Amino acid sequence: MPQTLQLINPMDMHLHLREGKLLESVLPFTTQAFSAAVVMPNLKIPITTTALVNDYKEHIISLSSATFTPLMTLYLTPSLTREELLLARDAGIRILKLYPKGATTGSENGVKDILCEKTLQVFAIAEELGFILSIHGESNGFCMEREYEFLPIFAYIAEHFPKLRIIIEHMSDRRSLEMIEKYENLYATLTLHHITLNLDDVCGGMLNPHLFCKPMLKSRKDQQALLEAALKAHPKISFGSDSAPHLESAKLSSKGAAGIFSAPVLLPALTQLFESHNALDSLQSFVSDRAIEIYQLQDFTQKSITLEKIQYNVPERIDTPLGAIVPLFAGQNLSWRIKE
């Protein structure tokens, strides 16, 4: 078995970096491992204008190493105008992020009626201008069926806007796989946690609030189907961690926050996972090549990451000036680590 592995231009196509001291604390875990990452816009003040995107991007770059490219997103609202979208395009913003109102963290300003006339007009302009539409695709129904219940909306948008590239973010339900096969312009991202864990890991024994996320971890059958798609580097699926840091105090409350902080373990854990399934040859495609193809990426920093087969002890907690964060696989040992 190989003792080192080289990955060229790893891409994280779904990342939460937060803001302030939390941003400063979590950003290095991504810049160490990835060439570029798609940065989510659901901050306390949503990133709904090009000016706000530019300010956020400049702040991230000021804190980043020279070998990292933040790929910025614009928070979609029905009030987005052609003028604003032209400004965004000219500023290099290529991704619009749609949150159904109330579906997840920071979605209070999301879209209530996704198929209303105003939102459809935004989709039409986005299609014309060449944007990518990334969607947190969940209904407000029963938590385990929300992604499935949202699939008709994906179908409607894909059918009516055939030149608009649409992303099913953090796909969690195996029934979504059929949808991306059906529509040429529909793609998806997969997280590490949805291909390694299922609902039993959250509450099958003792409750583990650090694994509470949205969309929820689903059944073993869902996990296995999504894992199989990742292991073969499905041509319409790219890797997107949905790493979402919350302070331990926010996770361990009566209204625990949804989100898993996976950034510290992503590449070592993925390498271990793919190796265990004799699929290391597919890892480069899953964590890089597919993203470059699907998102048609050209302007990003070139980076080569070497992983070595040396045990990595995942810390129990990661301290920040605001308090501790518990990472995914806290306290566990991984068989690979990033070479320093």
Q: Which residues are catalytic?
A: 242
Asked whether residue 17 is marked as a ligand-binding residue, the answer is yes
Q: CA-based Rg of the chain, rounded to a whole angstrom?
A: 19
Phi first, then psi, for residue 230 (nearest 5°) are: -65, -45
Cα–Cα nearest to 291, from 5, 71, 73: 71
Distance CA 30, CA 138 (A): 27
Residues with Cβ within 8 Å of residue 152, at least 6 apart in sequence: none
Determine the 3-state secondary structure of 75 from DSSP.
strand
| Angstrom distances, CA of residue 105 to CA of 213, 274, 314 | 10, 30, 26
Asked whether residue 16 is marked as a ligand-binding residue, the answer is yes
Distance CA 170, CA 186 (A): 13
Asked whether residue 258 is marked as a ligand-binding residue, the answer is yes
* DSSP states along 4-24: EEEEES-EEEEE---SHHHHH
What six digits make up the tokens of 182?
A: 């059906």
Asked if 310 contacts 10 with a C-beta cutoff of 8 angstroms, the reply is no
Phi first, then psi, for residue 4 (nearest 5°) are: -140, 155
Asked whether residue 160 is marked as a ligand-binding residue, the answer is no
What six digits make up the tokens of 160?
A: 């009516």
Asked whether residue 246 is marked as a ligand-binding residue, the answer is yes
Asked whether residue 222 is marked as a ligand-binding residue, the answer is no
* Cα 131 to chain centroid, rounded: 18
Asked whether residue 42 is marked as a ligand-binding residue, the answer is yes
* DSSP states along 208-267: -GGG--SSPP--HHHHHHHHHHHHTT-TTEEE---B----HHHHTSTTPPP-BB-GGGHH
Q: What sign has the CA pseudo-torsion 110, 116, 117, 119?
A: positive
**Which residue ranges are tagged as binding site for Zn(2+)?**
14, 16, 97, 136, 170, 242
**Which residue ranges are tagged as binding site?**
14, 16-18, 42, 97, 136, 170, 242, 246, 258
**Which residue ranges are tagged as binding site for substrate?**
16-18, 42, 136, 246, 258
